[in-house]
Amino acid sequence: MRLRTCAAATLLLLLGTPAAAVAAPGQSDNLSRTATVTASTTSSWESVAAVNDGIDPSTSNDTVNRRWGTWPATGEQWVLLTWPTAQTLRSADVYFFDDNGGVRLPASWRLQYWTGSAYTDVAAANGYPVAANRYNEVTFNQVSTSRLRVVLQSGTASVGLLEVRTYATAIGTGTGTGWNPPAGLVTPLNQVWAHQEQTYPNLYGFRNYGWDQVFANGGSINYCVRWDSSAPVSAALRDRIHASLARQFKKWMDVMAGHNGWPYATVPVKVVGWAVRDRATLQWTDSSVDVYVNNIRENAPQCSEPCGRFFNQAGTYPNCPGGAAHHYDMSLWLTAGMGGGAGGDWGQRIGSEYYVGALDSDNIHILLHEMGHSFGLDDFYDWTPSGVGGFLMQAGSATRITDFDAWMLRDWWRHLKNRYGY
Ligand SMILES: [Zn+2]
């Protein structure tokens, strides 16, 4: 459970029992280490063994560790990884050698695998970036093969490589062409992601982000309202609350529509239940939502736990009255007298008076901010990314989803999408 209380300080609680952790990529998962490496050609003073020696370079102009280079040869050059048995491969990171002289970045590159009778390009590669001083990542349709070739086309000089990491999974650093933010946001977005990786060791292992919930439902979200107030709620007010919640949620989901393979044009919100201390507080008599009375948890009314995603992260609800269709992914927890808010995988908590007073507002910014947390977005109380300022997730500095907020959301999709087969 991630809980962020959005006051002067960030409170993060990691509770619950997430599914087995998936490690971020690195040398420990690098399948290249067990391969034998050969090359089209190698300068006599260089070594092709560099590419799978497990040393992560700190610069493309590495003058300390061994390197693979082809000087003076140019044109198409390759390095071949050969394993004794077939490997499942899904992504790779490539670090180019560039000495600012006879060996420079390639004009282009691609990956080819051995089908048993020929080398063929991996399918659905998400892009082949060419950058110095960092790993260049590519993900592709899974292959099972005993041979993988990194094929470089030279540009202004000969070419070379310092390291080639290969993985069975597609979780990676993410530099594919499907991700195309404005140039000025690239650096701050990468800073944010690096900061999150550093701050949350289970970032990739956690399995209950809003993303996971949307996919578990096939493109929708169910809510239950925790009405932690004695103020009466008419049917009309209930319906306004439902409509407002859907409008605010839509603002985030509209950011994703059509972006980088995101499969849902809309993500409908359905409120399936309300929790209350006293049934008489709810003034409707119809049965359009489930009503849970006086089930007190955390000193507040709680919807049935057997129906809650937080308590059933396997996504099955065998003990939910009414069955899985009555489950809820998130709670909208409305607390009388509360200022500020909190958000996490369990939903959002804000003040009931604040929310009721803001129902017709275009941007209910505290709720929007807390929804951002439900999709993994972080707070910014103690630092600011380079070159940006005034955005929703930096509490108090904006009252709507800004471009930077939108791109932070999209950046989560960039890094998590392979989890869902994209
Ligand atoms: Zn916050």
Sequence spans of domains, the chain = 3-20+185-420, 27-167
Tell me the CA–centroid distance for residue 348 and ligand 1, in Å.
Answer: 10
Q: What is the pLDDT of residue 139?
A: 74
- Percent residues over pLDDT 70 in the chain: 91
Q: Tell me the C-alpha distance between 384 and 282, whole Å.
A: 43
At 71, list the tokens. Answer: 């000087």
| Non-local CB neighbours of 299 within 8 Å, separated by 6+ positions | none
Collapsed DSSP state (helix, strand, coil) of residue 295:
coil
Q: How many CA atoms lie within 13 A of 266 on its CB side?
A: 6
The stretches in the chain having pLDDT less than 70 are 1-28, 169-177
Is the domain spanning 3-20+185-420 CATH 3.30.1380? The answer is no
Q: What is the pLDDT of residue 226?
A: 98
User: Which 8-state DSSP code applies to residue 159?
Assistant: -
Domain 27-167: assigned CATH number: 2.60.120.260
Tell me the CA–centroid distance for residue 353 and ligand 1, in Å.
Answer: 19
Tell me the CA–centroid distance for residue 226 and ligand 1, in Å.
Answer: 20
pLDDT tens digits, 383-421: 999 999 899 999 999 999 999 999 999 999 999 999 999
Tell me the CA–centroid distance for residue 367 and ligand 1, in Å.
Answer: 10
Q: What is the pLDDT of residue 27?
A: 66
DSSP β-ladder status, 347-351 and 341-344? antiparallel
Tell me the CA–centroid distance for residue 320 and ligand 1, in Å.
Answer: 31
Tell me the CA–centroid distance for residue 350 and ligand 1, in Å.
Answer: 11
| Non-local CB neighbours of 141 within 8 Å, separated by 6+ positions | 122, 123, 124
Tell me the CA–centroid distance for residue 7 and ligand 1, in Å.
Answer: 7
Q: How many residues does the chain have?
A: 422
Q: What is the pLDDT of residue 245?
A: 98
Q: Tell me the C-alpha distance between 225 and 348, whole Å.
A: 10
Tell me the CA–centroid distance for residue 373 and ligand 1, in Å.
Answer: 7
Task: Give the Cβ contact number of residue 123 at 10 Å.
Answer: 10
Burial class (CB in 10 A: 0-12, 13-18, 19+), 318: exposed
Q: What is the pLDDT of residue 207?
A: 95
pTM: 0.62
Tell me the CA–centroid distance for residue 195 and ligand 1, in Å.
Answer: 16
Q: Tell me the C-alpha distance between 6 and 9, whole Å.
A: 7
DSSP β-ladder status, 341-344 and 269-276? unpaired
Tell me the CA–centroid distance for residue 343 and ligand 1, in Å.
Answer: 7
